[in-house]
Amino acid sequence: MKKIELTTTRIIALGFFIAIFVGALLLMLPFATVSGEHTGILDALFTSTTSVCVTGLVVVDTFSHWSIFGKFIILILIQIGGLGIISITTLLMHLFRRKFTLRSSMLIQDSYNLNTKQDLKRFTLKVFKGTICIEFLGAVLYSITFCQKYGLLRGVWYSVFNSVSSFCNAGIDILGNNSLADYAHNPLVLFTTSFLIITGGLGFVVWWDIIDVLSQIKMKKSSLTNAIKGLNLHSKLVILMTVSLLVVGTLFIYFMEHHNPLTIGNFSEGDKWINSFFQSVTLRTAGFSSFSQKGMYEATALFSMALMLIGGSPVGTAGGVKTITLAIVFLNFLSMIRDRDEIVVFKRKIPNVAIRKAVAILFLGMSLVIIMTILLIISGNKDGVLVDCLFEVVSAIGTVGLTRDYTGSLNIMGRIIIIICMYLGRIGPISMTVAFSSQNVKKNLIHYPEESVIVG
């Protein structure tokens, strides 16, 4: 029998699985619930998965079902899931002064999907410091509202929980059973949440690139124009795609829903724009909602699914197929219709391996959506609600957490399917493929003659 090698990607996949399993066991303890009774294994497993996979879909109400202990476990699972198993291990190794081996560096590299092994320990520690600073800032901003409403201790606890959940793009809150709908007219809460979601979704690599640019401008070493030109190609594409998707999403949602009384139709003009923007942000794998997702027109729901599948950017806390993937596939399309033999953007050529990877990720992501939606429908969950089923699957695979009031109605098989979707969505379709295939790529010893085929 061939021995199974624990490659780096397999370790990452196994690490998430172990975290989910341990989290489920802890949530099954009687003192993890308000009632003091055991939570069923499937409900505990679902909650642990949605926490570690920073999704946000829930089958039991987080606010009323879980005790302080249960909510604290969920918070820890969210933080672990957002930063990654390997990142947490790296921090512990640093705290206990353990030596970083080549294997450790490979684990960090694959965990963050980086192309270089240079100074990965320092990179990881910077990620932790940056995360703590941003989550602290978010908690301070939230506390302005929550401490007034809930009192000091409770308000601080809610602020910390929401800040971690927002930054990690988890979408789980303990404010009530209707997410942020009670704060639909509170710009501070919505903009704070948006700031945390966008910051987490941009990706850590982009953070440091932007900070370097700002430092150069502050020290007058470079002009604003030259500093922006100095951004690496990855950061330029991420910022361009993020801004474009946020603007397009806001405009589409506003003009589609501004007369819909079930969503933002009864809001003031200013609140319509703010909530349209918030919806555009939260669709990028966060999962908070300020109005009913079930009440949206089906055209808006389909558009929302596209944004959910795209998700955030690489090397961050967001899920989805990622903005860079979409950018490369779109640029490849443009190069084809322009009869170009290579992709050039910002005077830089995109390597062929990146193009192949982008196409593979998009294909796997869309294939998963189709297969899992079919399985969810035939598993016996409410007939005649294709949009709701599709929305649920895309939300799970994109680790978003929004639902059209469908999660609570899932039967046993439906819950298992969504658990699988969340797990696959978190570790990534391409990582999943690599994790369970041979790492030793064999180059062809024989090269065959080329022959064209008809495409399209």
Q: For residue 341, give the amino acid letter.
A: D
Q: How confident is the model at residue 426 (pLDDT cuts 50, 70, 90)?
A: confident
User: Of all residues in the chain, what percent carry a pLDDT higher than 90?
Assistant: 48
| HEC profile of 16-63 | HHHHHHHHHHHHCCHHHECCCCCCCHHHHHHHHHHHHCCCCCCCCCHH
- Would you list the domain boundaries of the chain? 8-433
Main-chain phi, psi angles of 346, to 5 degrees: 50, 40
238-244: long-range pairs with CB below 8 Å, 24+: 238/202, 238/203, 238/206, 238/313, 238/314, 238/323, 238/324, 239/202, 239/206, 240/327, 241/313, 241/323, 241/324, 241/326, 241/327, 242/198, 242/201, 242/202, 242/313, 242/323
Residue type, 157: W
Average confidence score pLDDT of the chain? 84
DSSP string, 53-98: TT----SS-HHHHB-HHHHHHHHHHHHHHHH-HHHHHHHHHHHTTP
Number of H helices, E strands in the chain: 19, 2
Residue 428 has pLDDT above 60, yes or no: yes
State how far the Cα of 223 lies from the Cα of 225, in Å rounded to an integer: 5
CB–CB of 327/245 below 8 Å? Answer: no
**Would the pLDDT of 13 be above 80?**
no
Nearest CA to 439 among 26, 82, 8? 8
Cβ contact 33:70 at 8 Å: yes
Residue 251 has what pLDDT?
A: 97
Report the pLDDT value the prediction gives residue 440, as an integer from 0 to 100.
47
The whole-angstrom separation of Cα 137 and Cα 141 is 6
Q: Who has greater pLDDT, 366 or 228?
A: 366
Alpha-carbon gap, residue 426 to 258, rounded angstroms:
33
Asked if pLDDT for residue 85 goes beyond 70, the answer is no
Averaged pLDDT for residues 86-112: 54
Tokens of 259: 């007369």
Nearest CA among 13, 17, 6, 41 for reference residue 27: 41
Mean pLDDT value of segment 266-288: 93
Compute the CA torsion angle 49, 52, 53, 59 (nearest 10 deg). Answer: 40
C-alpha R_g of the chain: 22
Averaged pLDDT for residues 306-330:
87
User: Which range (90-94, 233-237, 332-336) has the least confidence?
Assistant: 90-94
Q: Which of 246, 254, 256, 290 is nearest to 273 (CA)?
A: 254
Least confident of 3-17, 38-52, 267-281: 3-17
Return the structure tokens found at 14: 């196994």
How far is residue 378's CA from residue 417's CA, in Å, rounded to a whole number?
11
Query: Average pLDDT of 240-269?
Result: 95
pLDDT, tens digit (0-9, with 9 covering 90-100), for 348-375: 898 888 888 888 889 989 999 999 999 9
Distance of CA 234 to the CA centre of its chain: 18
Give me the pLDDT at residue 96, please: 47
Both tokens of 175, joined, read: 């404010």
Q: Lowest mean pLDDT: which of 31-40, 68-77, 87-96, 237-246? A: 87-96
Whether the predicted pLDDT of 145 surpasses 70: yes
Q: What 3 state SS string does 139-152 have?
A: HHHHHHHHHHHHCH
DSSP 290: S
pLDDT at 186 over 90: yes
- Residue 262 pLDDT greater than 90, yes or no: yes
Which helix (H) or strand (E) segment holds residue 345: the answer is strand 344-345
More confident residue, 218 or 187: 187
pLDDT of residue 106 exceeding 70, the answer is no
Q: What's residue 385's pLDDT?
A: 79
What pLDDT, on a 0 to 100 scale, did the predictor assign at position 438? 46
DSSP 220-276: TSS-HHHHHHTS-HHHHHHHHHHHHHHHHHHHHHHHHHTT-TTTTTTS-HHHHHHHH
Q: What is the mean pLDDT of residues 260-287?
A: 93
Q: What is the DSSP letter of 385?
A: -
Paired tokens of 248 = 């397009």
Residue that wins the pLDDT comparison between 139 and 385: 139
- Report the share of the chain in percent with pLDDT over 70: 84
Q: How far apart are CA 109 and CA 219, in angstroms?
A: 32
Q: Confidence band (pLDDT; 50, 70, 90) for 205? A: confident
